[in-house]
Amino acid sequence: MMNIDLLDKKIIFELDLDSRQSSQQLARKVRSSKEVVAYRLKRLEKNSVIFKYLTVLDPAKLGYFLHKVMFKLENVNTKEKEEIIDYLKNHPYSLWTVECDGPFDIGFMVFARNLTELNGVLTEISNKLNKYIHERVVSTNITGEYFTRRYLIQKSKEKKSRYGENTSIQKIDKTDWQILYQLSKNARISITEIAKYVPIKIDAIRERMRKLEKSGIISGYSILINNNVINQLHYKVLIYLKDFSEKKYGAIRQFCVQNENIIYLIKSLGTWDIEIDIEVNSPEKYREITLNLLKQFPDTIRKYDTLQIYRLHEYKYLPHNKVLGEGI
């Protein structure tokens, strides 16, 4: 556990808005010195409060989709579970791997350009893990939207980081793919460091990044935090609707926008219809939010399942470079 004070929270909040901000930019916004901010940042990284600097991409604009796979395990001991998780998080198609409590034990997200590719990945994984899988459920992310962690410092500024709203595929070349791949591993990577892997001038890399941002391929730069390190709880709520309409989805979205503890919203195609991620400091706070949700939408929500995410192992928006093939 690590106790974080108001200055730490301000730094995390600003990085949540834009994780590519320099220490000097952060210092100006949190009203501290560059040296103090740099020290605090290193401490947050060293103590694993910050899990990763995340580049949010729009997968649809690159011609692929995100498919979430949830596993309920059986006949598995602790060592075997660790081996399963290690296999999944290091799988070349892996984007997201978590351990959770609730109706499922492990969550895994797959990159796939089409159903044939998805089927090939799932068949390979199922053949490898078949004796441990009691249940497998697949859900496709249609749209995703990140909201600012306003609960940190009670600010009302809303972040507009989202993907999947425009399905038109953007044409990019091999150099763009190389830049995106490096950013997908670490959103705070310097342009000088990117230049070690991309054989063009620094100014050219900077200009290409601007174009990728303007086109919406790069939706934003954020962070992932280890909630358990700062004594927080992370819940994922899987919501099943009685019937779906854009109007009803819009009303639930507005509820999420207004609630400072809801940090992520997904419109899904699969067993459930909506996912929301909630970060809170107690189970009671989580229960308050979900009861309020049900109270506001009694004729819309059929039921919901709760997953408590207790360990994040992997999260990124591009798979291993050998999956991207000629792009890299």
> How does pLDDT run across 137-150, given as a tens digit for each residue?
999 999 999 999 99
Q: Which residue has the tokens 């962070």?
A: 223
Phi, psi of 124 (to 5 degrees): -60, -45
**Cβ-based neighbour number of residue 35 at 10 Å:** 10
**pLDDT for 239 beyond 80:** yes
Per-residue pLDDT at 202: 96
Q: Which of 266, 327, 275 is nearest to 113 (CA)?
A: 327
Percent of the chain at pLDDT exceeding 90: 85
Q: Which of 86, 98, 51 is nearest to 277 (CA)?
A: 98
Mean pLDDT over residues 269-298, rounded? Answer: 96
What are the structure tokens assigned to 96, written together? 């997201």
Percent of the chain at pLDDT exceeding 70: 96
Per-residue pLDDT at 323: 75
Q: How far apart are CA 111 and CA 67, in angstroms?
A: 7
Mean pLDDT over residues 102-109, rounded? Answer: 96
Per-residue pLDDT at 326: 52
Q: Which of 209, 215, 163, 242 is nearest to 20 (CA)?
A: 209
Angle at 260 between CA 259 and CA 263, to 5 degrees: 95
Residue 154 φ/ψ region, left for φ over 0, alpha for ψ in the -120 to 50 degree band, beta for the rest: left
Question: How far lies 303's CA from each of 272, 273, 308, in Å?
Answer: 9, 11, 17
Q: How far apart are CA 145 and CA 270, in angstroms?
A: 18
User: CA end-to-end span of the chain, whole Å?
Assistant: 39
Cα–chain-centroid distance for residue 301? Answer: 24
Q: What is the pTM of this model?
A: 0.91
Per-residue pLDDT at 320: 77
Per-residue pLDDT at 72: 97
- Confidence at 159, pLDDT banded by 50, 70, 90: low
Mean pLDDT over residues 273-279, rounded? Answer: 97
Cα–chain-centroid distance for residue 136? Answer: 21
Residue 13 φ/ψ region, left for φ over 0, alpha for ψ in the -120 to 50 degree band, beta for the rest: alpha
> Is residue 187 a contact partner of residue 220, using CB atoms and an 8 Å limit?
no
> Is residue 27 a contact partner of residue 39, using CB atoms and an 8 Å limit?
no
Mean pLDDT over residues 12-40, rounded? Answer: 95
Look over the chain and give the mean of its residue pLDDT values, rounded to a whole number.
Answer: 93
Per-residue pLDDT at 157: 59
**pLDDT for 93 beyond 60:** yes
Q: CB-based burial of residue 169 (10 Å sphere; 0-12 exposed, 13-18 middle, 19+ buried)?
A: exposed
Mean pLDDT over residues 189-200, rounded? Answer: 95
Q: How far apart are CA 20 and CA 203, in angstroms?
A: 17
**pLDDT for 155 beyond 80:** no
